[in-house]
């Protein structure tokens, strides 16, 4: 027979495995776990945040806000589907609320995540309808506000490229989701306390606070919160590399509308720069491109009778960068790079001249051309 | 209900693949949903407002009920209505019960043992299942499955945009309705885009990535998706503005209640009221 301690051990292992598994899911509460009164109270708590969120969006962004919120909600929804790997071999779903809060500020982030949650609840049965208020409070209100507060504390007076922002994003995300898990644990835990039948049977979630709180907080703190934090930090790092003005958007929302503009071009210039530097790789290819032969190459290929036209014209134009080389530089590779840069500069000047000719006097501003 | 959770042994290696799989599953799943709403069936023929209000009423009555029998009856009724609405008999059951055991079922199993009450069954390891434990578990399982089935019934038989129009009748702000409609549409675009990004990454990959490399890939995809979202929203706004959008929203409300709709509304509300009364 199993002794008491063995039984406890078994239960602990069972519980541990269960919690580990559970933590890979995000914390959407289905219908039936919370009593209708709890659901109603959570709706009432969430309502002011929704109102503040919508008001804030309209005041900062006006009509532009509609497509922006829609797109970011869709983005949040898609993020919630990614399995994000954690050190140790498991993976979890992040909520994306931290990223939304960092970019938009907490009030609009509430709306963005709430909309994603509504679609998940209605369309995919992920999270209940009556429990929608509670889910929004946990994931769309607690996470963004807490994460944003911590992130902005870390990034106060720091430049946009500061590494402290990454730390702030991680700590903010981790804390936000862990506190949200705590709230969910409380919501579960008070059910058997308040809502039971005459003979004591719990009507909704069956575990008291002493079980529900650790059961929610520990796996989230170890896994899901870590996923959210790491993802937030890495996305901030990515934005610092590729689209840094977006990080300012919380204070200057108009930036969001133009976030695509010049920044995208900058990426293109970077790519171009890389290609230029890598151009000497072309020197590695032996021989000359097919068909681009001069008289000498034709001879070496065994063609002794060269067409008259070719002979006459072959010496006509003495190119300044013959063979893409500038002997004065001494190094073939440098000559290659130099030719590439020069070529691009010349092309750019020509294109610029053309665009000036095209837009001059037409009243079209360059900004509107995107 | 998370239907995309992977088994632990493959999780480490196949993070990209599982995200890909989850996304594709979502796409197919949604296609299925639209297909059923086009069939001829009871629910498909009802006014969307009746359906939304009835679903809400029944959800609330399930939530309030303190009687297992009442909840079970509503569940059976839901299955019956699904059957009359051209939903394959096993579809609703599979959708709910195949996912349910893995989430709710696992959570509540300990409740069988730890809920204090008279003993029902003695198990080998010295564990005792109590009657109150069984009752609690049944309550939770039945409530969750009935609620999910009700919601599914509504969504499967009604196209999303019709649901949104119906919601606007419930005084949901028009701006939210517009945002919800656009979000739904653009989820599909972003899912396709994310799917392509995963596929292109996977097709350039041989062997396995370490955890941190996987993280970087996912974060880069997320970041790129974010930039695309911002860019797209900018373009969409310009498109809307150039077609006359100035911030005010007008929605069409093409619903007309027929006698049949009033009848079924009365029936559903009657069932909900009876359930609350019987289950109090």
CB A261 within 8 A of CB A369: no
What is the domain range of residue B25?
Answer: 13-278
Note whether residue B4 is domain-resident: no
- Nearest-CB residue to A66 (from B126, B160, B178): B178
Task: Give percent above pLDDT 70 in chain B.
Answer: 85
Answer yes or no: is B61 within a domain. Answer: yes
**Once rounded to an integer, what is the mean pLDDT over residues B18-39?**
71
Domains of chain A by residue range: 7-259, 260-284+316-370
3-state secondary structure string across chain A? CCCHHHHHHHHHHHHHHHHHHHHCCCCCCCCCCCCHHHHHHHHHHHHHHHHHHHHHHHHHHHHHHHHHHHHHHHHHHHHCCCEEECCCCCEEECCCHHHHHHHHCHHHHHHHHHHHHHHHHHHHCCCCCCCHHHHHHHHHHHHHHHHHHHHHHHHCCCCCCCCHHHHHHHHHHHHHHHHHHHHHHHHHHCHHHHCECCCCCECCCCCCHHHHHHHHHHHHHHHHHHHHHHHHHHHHHHHHHHCHHHHHCCCCCHHHHHCCHHHHHHHHHHHHHHHHHHHHHHHHCCCCCCCCCCHHHHHHCCCCCCCHHHHHHCCCCCCCCHHHCCHHHCCHHHHHHHHHHHHHHHHHHHHHHHHHHHHCCCCCCHHHHC
Is the ipTM higher than 0.85? The answer is: no
Per-residue model confidence as pLDDT tens digits over B125-163:
777 888 888 888 888 889 988 998 999 889 888 888 888
**Which residues of B fall within a CB distance of 8 Å from A25?**
2, 5, 103
Task: Say whether B63 and A32 touch across the interface (CB within 8 A).
Answer: yes
Q: Give the per-residue pLDDT at B89.
A: 72
Contact between chains at A201 and B139 (C-beta distance less than 8 A): yes
pLDDT at residue A64, as a whole number: 73
A129/B147 CB distance under 8 A: yes
Task: Tell if the CB–CB gap between A239 and B226 is shorter than 8 Å.
Answer: yes
Closest chain B residue by Cα to residue A82: B19
Domains: count for chain B:
1
Provide the number of CB pairs (under 8 Å) joining chain A to chain B: 300
Residues 249-278 of B with CB under 8 A from A: none
Task: State the average pLDDT over residues B257-261.
Answer: 85
pLDDT at res. A103: 86
Q: What is the torsion angle, in degrees rounded to the nearest 10, for the CA atoms of residue A233, residue A237, residue A243 and residue A248?
A: 60
**Which one has a higher pLDDT value, B104 or A176?**
A176
Torsion of CA A96, A102, A106, A108, to 10 degrees: -80
Of B4, B211, B237, the CB nearest to A67: B237
Position A317 scores a pLDDT of: 64
Question: How confident is the model over B11-25, as a mean pLDDT?
Answer: 62
What's the CA gap between B186 and B184, in Å, rounded?
6
Identify whether B3 is part of a domain.
Answer: no
A150 touches chain B (CB under 8 A): no
Instruction: Give pLDDT, residue B71.
Output: 92
- Is any Cβ of chain A less than 8 angstroms from the Cβ of B191? yes
Residue A291 vs residue B204, higher pLDDT: B204
Residue B2, in any domain of the structure:
no
- Give A67's contacts in chain B (Cβ within 8 Å): 182, 232-234, 236-237, 240
Average pLDDT across chain B, whole number: 81
pLDDT in tens, chain A (370 residues): 556 676 666 666 666 666 555 555 568 888 889 999 999 999 999 999 999 988 887 777 667 777 888 888 888 888 887 777 777 667 778 888 999 899 888 998 999 999 999 988 887 778 889 999 999 999 999 999 999 999 999 988 888 888 899 999 999 999 999 999 999 999 988 988 888 777 778 888 888 888 888 888 888 888 889 989 998 998 889 888 887 877 776 666 555 555 434 344 455 555 556 666 666 555 555 555 666 666 676 777 777 777 777 766 766 666 666 666 666 666 666 666 666 666 666 666 666 665 565 555 444 444 443 3
Inform me whether the C-beta atom of residue B10 falls under 8 Å from chain A C-beta atoms. Answer: no
Predicted local distance difference test score (pLDDT) of residue B11: 44
**pLDDT for res A93:** 80
* Residue-level pLDDT at A281: 59
Residues B110, A11: C-beta atoms closer than 8 Å? yes
Mean pLDDT score, B230-240: 88
Q: Rg of chain B's alpha carbons, rounded to an integer?
A: 23
How many angstroms separate the CA of residue A340 from the nearest CA in chain B? 29
Stretch 221-280 of chain A: residues touching chain B, C-beta under 8 Å: 230-231, 234-235, 237-239, 242-243, 246, 256-260, 264
Q: What is the pTM of this model?
A: 0.73
Q: Who among B144, B183, B187 is closest to A30 (CB)?
A: B144
Q: Which residue in B18, B232, B246 is closest to A71 by CB distance? A: B232
Note whether B62 contacts A235, CB cutoff 8 Å. Answer: no
B232 contacts A89? CB cut-off 8 A: no
Task: Say yes or no for a CB contact (<8 Å) between A31 and B143.
Answer: yes
Contact A23, A223 (CB under 8 A): yes
**A7-259, CATH topology level:** Arp2/3 complex 21 kDa subunit ARPC3 (1.10.1760)
Mean pLDDT over B94-123 rounds to 76
Chain B positions in Cβ-Cβ contact with residue A89 (cut-off 8 Å): 8, 11-12, 211
Decide which of B107 and B231 is more confident: B231
**Interchain CB distance below 8 Å, A200 and B132:** yes
């Amino acid at each position: 027979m199993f002794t008491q301690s063995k039984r406890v051990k078994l239960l602990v292992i069972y519980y541990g495995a269960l919690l580990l598994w559970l933590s890979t899911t995000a914390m959407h509460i289905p219908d039936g776990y919370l009593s209708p009164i709890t659901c109603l109270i959570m709706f009432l708590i969430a309502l002011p945040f929704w109102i503040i969120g919508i008001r804030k969006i309209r005041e900062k962004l006006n009509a532009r806000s509609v497509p922006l919120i829609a797109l970011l909600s869709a983005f949040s929804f898609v993020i919630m589907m990614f399995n994000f790997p954690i050190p140790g071999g498991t993976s979890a779903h992040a909520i994306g609320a931290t990223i939304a809060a960092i970019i938009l500020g907490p009030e609009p982030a509430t709306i963005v995540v709430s909309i994603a949650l509504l679609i998940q609840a209605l369309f995919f049965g992920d999270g209940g309808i009556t429990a929608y208020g509670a889910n929004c409070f946990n994931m769309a209100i607690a996470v963004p506000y807490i994460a944003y507060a911590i992130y902005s504390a870390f990034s106060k007076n720091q430049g946009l490229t500061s590494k402290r922002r990454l730390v702030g994003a991680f700590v903010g995300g981790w804390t936000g989701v862990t506190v949200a898990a705590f709230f969910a644990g409380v919501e579960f835990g008070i059910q058997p306390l308040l809502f039971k039948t005459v003979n004591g049977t719990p009507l909704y979630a069956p575990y008291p606070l002493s079980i529900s709180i650790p059961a929610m907080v520990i796996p989230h703190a170890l896994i899901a919160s870590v996923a959210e934090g790491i993802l937030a930090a890495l996305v901030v790092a990515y934005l610092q590399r590729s689209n840094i003005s977006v990080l300012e958007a919380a204070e200057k929302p108009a930036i969001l509308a133009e976030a695509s503009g010049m920044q995208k071009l900058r990426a293109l210039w970077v790519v171009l720069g890389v290609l230029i530097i890598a151009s000497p790789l072309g020197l590695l290819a032996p021989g000359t491109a097919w068909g681009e032969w001069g008289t000498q190459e034709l001879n070496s290929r065994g063609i002794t009778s060269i067409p008259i036209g070719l002979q006459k014209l072959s010496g006509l134009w003495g190119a300044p960068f013959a063979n893409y080389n500038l002997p004065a530089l001494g190094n073939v590779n440098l000559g290659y790079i130099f030719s590439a840069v020069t070529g691009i500069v010349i092309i750019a000047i020509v294109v610029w001249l053309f665009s000036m000719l095209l837009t001059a006097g037409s009243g079209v501003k360059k900004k509107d051309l995107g | 209900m998370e239907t995309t959770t992977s088994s632990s042994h493959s999780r480490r290696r196949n993070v990209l693949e599982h995200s890909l799989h989850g996304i594709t599953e979502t796409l197919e799943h949604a296609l299925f949903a639209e297909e059923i709403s086009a069939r001829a069936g009871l629910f498909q023929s009802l006014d969307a407002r009746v359906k939304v209000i009835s679903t809400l009423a029944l959800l609330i009555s399930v939530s309030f009920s303190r009687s297992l029998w009442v909840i079970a009856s509503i569940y059976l009724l839901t299955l019956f209505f699904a059957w009359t609405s051209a939903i394959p008999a096993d579809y609703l059951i599979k959708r709910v019960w195949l996912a349910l055991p893995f989430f709710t079922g696992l959570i509540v199993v300990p409740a069988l043992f730890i809920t204090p009450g008279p003993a029902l069954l003695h198990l080998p390891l010295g564990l005792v299942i109590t009657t109150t434990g069984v009752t609690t578990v049944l309550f939770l399982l039945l409530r969750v499955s009935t609620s999910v089935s009700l919601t599914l019934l509504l969504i499967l038989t009604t196209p999303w945009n019709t649901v949104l129009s119906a919601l606007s009748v419930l005084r949901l702000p028009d701006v939210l309705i517009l945002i919800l409609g656009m979000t739904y549409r653009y989820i599909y675009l972003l899912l396709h885009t994310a799917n392509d990004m995963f596929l292109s990454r996977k097709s350039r990959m041989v062997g396995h990535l370490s955890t941190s490399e996987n993280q970087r890939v996912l974060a880069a995809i997320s970041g790129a998706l974010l930039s695309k979202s911002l860019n797209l929203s900018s373009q969409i706004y310009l498109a809307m503005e150039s077609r006359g959008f100035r911030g005010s929203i007008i929605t069409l409300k093409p619903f007309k209640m027929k006698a049949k709709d009033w009848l079924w509304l009365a029936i559903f509300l009657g069932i909900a009221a009876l359930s609350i009364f019987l289950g109090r």
